A = this chain, B = another copy of it.
Amino acid sequence: MDLKKVFEPKTIAVVGVSVTNPLSPGTVIFNKNYHEMGAETIPVNLRGGEIEGVPIYPSVLDIPDKVDLAVIAIRSDLVNPTVEECGKAGIGGVVVISGGFAELGNEGVERQNELAKIADEYDIALIGPNCMGVYSPPFVDTFFLPSERMLKPPAGNVAIISQSGGFIVDQFLSKYAERNIGVSVAVSIGNKAVVDETILMEYFLKDRRTNTVAMYLEGFKEREGRRFLDIAGEFTKNKHLIVFRAGKTAGGQRAAMSHTSSVAASPRLAADIFKQYGILEAENEHEIVSFAKVLSFKHKTIKNGDVVALTVSGGHGVVCADLIPKYGLKLVEFTEEEIKEMRQMINPSAARIAVLNNPIDLTGSAQDIDLEKVFEYLLQLKKIEAVIVLTFPYPPTITMQIGRRLSNIAGRYGKPVIAYVPWLSKYEIIIKGFEINNVPVAHTIEEAVQMIKGLKMRHPKNQH
């Protein structure tokens, strides 16, 4: 099977457009692809007619052009014959949006088995059934939600695999868009009659667009887990895999069973196995974002977690100091000599009151140049592996250039630097100043610390 037909199609057919119901999934999918996406989009409906002025083909067999991908959103009892037609028409990729398969129990299981058999016979890369499908910019978007109701992230190097369509839209795409985390492909796998997590991982392993896979996982059915871990171990040698597991508690597991009939391993056991295979486990909604963000930048990993926090707000320093051990990191200590050297490089009114232990608080009397000098001094110190800069741009003495100025210095030393900047649109010049220059910006103090934790977990010495 060739998943490229699904993710980078030149031509797609949407089977199940409705000329009467503008809210039907098929119509929503047709409209968004026809108007917004890169693939040529052809409408199909048994009854023919026209939609948006475009003639509707009664069957995929009637389409004269070569079609790469068929998106199917029709009654479940019509799905299998339609996929068979796709096979006959030489269509290599199919996304089945329709529900009415294994999720219904016995009656649907048989239908799903038949669907898998047809796909196998014609060597079709089939996603679904019972899913949102695929968002693969700029080519195709089969999510049956109007684009104006979604938030779409920029193109980038994070691929997403999810056992929940809702979660992918609301927690991955929206949050990644808000935080400028670029996405290569997002896949809602649904009942995974054919294409499952493992097959997708094999694809993303070779996909040049993808550097990191982020995944929402409720668990595996029997035998799936083993196959997945094998490819995961291979994958994490050169790329990153972030997994957020749901269904970890009794109530959550019962809900997961109803939702995707997945069985989770015991949380403790799974966490250990994940670590062994180099998988970065996101422990909450926030780490889904912070890990993906830091790994989408090009940073060295760190071995010990020896960090320094640099700020101009004492309270931020105290809070950061509390979080650092919580995430398995350490505050580097300074000698009297080092403290003296730092005090000599800053302006006299800051020098009088600055706290130059770790966390370093240069106070509200600091200006850009003071931050720059101390920041560069810290990057030079061998004992420091990474720097957290808690930027506080409210005083007028800190300029909008602070992001660019500090990130320029960071670039000269090659050590990981994470900046916290209040995530306000008015500070976008600072945020961009950091991020276009390879310094990821965190949205909360805790997220900054999580990012460093991610870099530590990904160090070869801290795995296996």
Closest to A316 in B: B166
Cβ of B145 and Cβ of A395 under 8 Å apart?
yes
**A23, A99, A358: residue with the most chain B Cβ atoms closer than 10 Å:** A99
CB-based contact B284/A164 at 8 Å: no
Given contacts A165-B364, A317-B255, whether A445 and B285 have CB atoms under 8 Å apart is yes
Question: Is A303 in the interface zone, CB < 8 Å from B?
Answer: no
- Say yes or no: B316 contacts A167, CB within 8 Å: yes
Residues of B within 8 A of A394 (CB): 145, 149-150, 169-170
Q: Does A344 contact B (CB under 8 A)?
A: no
A133 to chain B, nearest CB (A): 13
The CA-CA distance from A317 to B255 in the complex, in Å, is 7
Assuming the contacts A255-B359, A331-B251, asked whether A397 and B325 have C-beta atoms less than 8 A apart, the reply is no
Minimum CB–CB distance for A156 against chain B, Å: 20
Residues facing B in A242-289 (CB within 8 A) are: 246-252, 254-256, 258-260, 284-285
What CA separation (Å) do A313 and B315 show in the bound complex? Answer: 39
Q: Is A162's CB within 8 Å of the partner chain B?
A: yes
> How far is the CB of A383 from the nearest CB of chain B, in Å?
16
Whether, in the assembled complex, A112 has its beta carbon less than 8 Å from a beta carbon of chain B, the answer is no
Q: Contact: A164 with B313, CB < 8 Å? A: yes
A369 interfacial by beta-carbon distance below 8 Å: no
Per the bound structure, the CA–CA distance linking A422 and B166 in Å amounts to 12
Specify which of B99, B169, B255, B357 is in contact with A318 (CB 8 Å cutoff): B255
Flag if A218 contacts B318 (CB, 8 Å).
yes
The reply on A8 being an interface residue by CB < 8 A is no
Interface flags for A435-446 (1: CB within 8 Å of B; 0: not) read 000000000111
Residues on B with C-beta less than 8 A from A246 are 315, 318-319, 322
Asked if A321 is at the interface (CB within 8 A of a chain B CB), the reply is yes
* Nearest-CB residue, chain B, relative to A358: B251
Q: How far is the CA of A315 from the CA of B285 in the complex (A)?
A: 12
Q: Chain B residues with Cβ under 8 A from A314's Cβ?
A: 164, 166, 255, 258-260
Check A385 for interface membership: any CB of B closer than 8 A. Answer: no
B interface footprint on A284-301 (CB within 8 Å = 1, 0 otherwise) = 110000000000000000
Could you tell me the distance between the alpha carbons of A258 and B339 in the complex, rounded to whole angstroms? 14
Q: Say yes or no: is A28 at the interface (Cβ < 8 Å to chain B).
A: yes
The docked-state distance in angstroms from the alpha carbon of A170 to that of B445 is 11
Q: A148-181 CB contact bits vs B (8 Å, 1 = yes)?
A: 1111000000000011111111110010000000
Please encode chain A, from 51 to 69, with 1 for each CB lying within 8 Å of some chain B CB and 0 for all others: 0000000000000000000
Q: Is A146 an interface residue (CB 8 A)?
A: yes
A352 interface hit (Cβ, 8 Å): yes
Question: In whole angstroms, how far apart are the Cα atoms of A256 and B314 in the complex?
Answer: 8
Instruction: Select from chain B the residue with minimum beta-carbon distance to A420.
Output: B170
* B324, A251: Cβ atoms closer than 8 Å: yes
Most chain B CB inside 10 Å of its own CB: which residue of A171, A315, A426, A444: A315
Closest residue of chain B to A315 (Cβ to Cβ) is B164
Are A149 and B426 touching (Cβ within 8 A)? yes
Q: Are A316 and B357 in contact (CB under 8 A)?
A: no
User: Is A381's CB within 8 Å of the partner chain B?
Assistant: no
Q: Contact at A325–B392, with CB atoms within 8 Å? A: no
Per-position contact with B for A317-339: 1 when CB-CB < 8 Å, else 0? 11101101110000100000000
Chain B hits for A144, CB < 8 A? 395
The reply to whether A104 and B170 form a contact with Cβ atoms under 8 Å apart is no
* A49: interface (CB < 8 Å): no
With both beta carbons as reference points, the residue of chain B lying nearest to A130 in the complex is identified as B353
Asked if A321 and B255 make an inter-chain contact with CB atoms under 8 angstroms apart, the answer reads yes
CB neighbours of A312 from chain B (8 A): 166
Residues of B within 8 Å of A313, CB to CB, are 164-167, 170
* Chain B neighbourhood of A254, CB < 8 A: 321, 357
Q: Is the C-beta of A103 less than 8 angstroms from some C-beta in chain B? A: yes
User: Which A residues fall within an 8 A CB radius of B?
Assistant: 23, 28, 99, 103-104, 144-146, 148-151, 162-171, 174, 216, 218, 246-252, 254-256, 258-260, 284-285, 311-319, 321-322, 324-326, 331, 352-353, 355, 357-359, 361, 364, 392-397, 422, 424, 426, 444-446
What are the 4 A-B residue pairs with the smallest beta carbon separation, nearest first? A164-B315, A166-B313, A167-B315, A259-B314
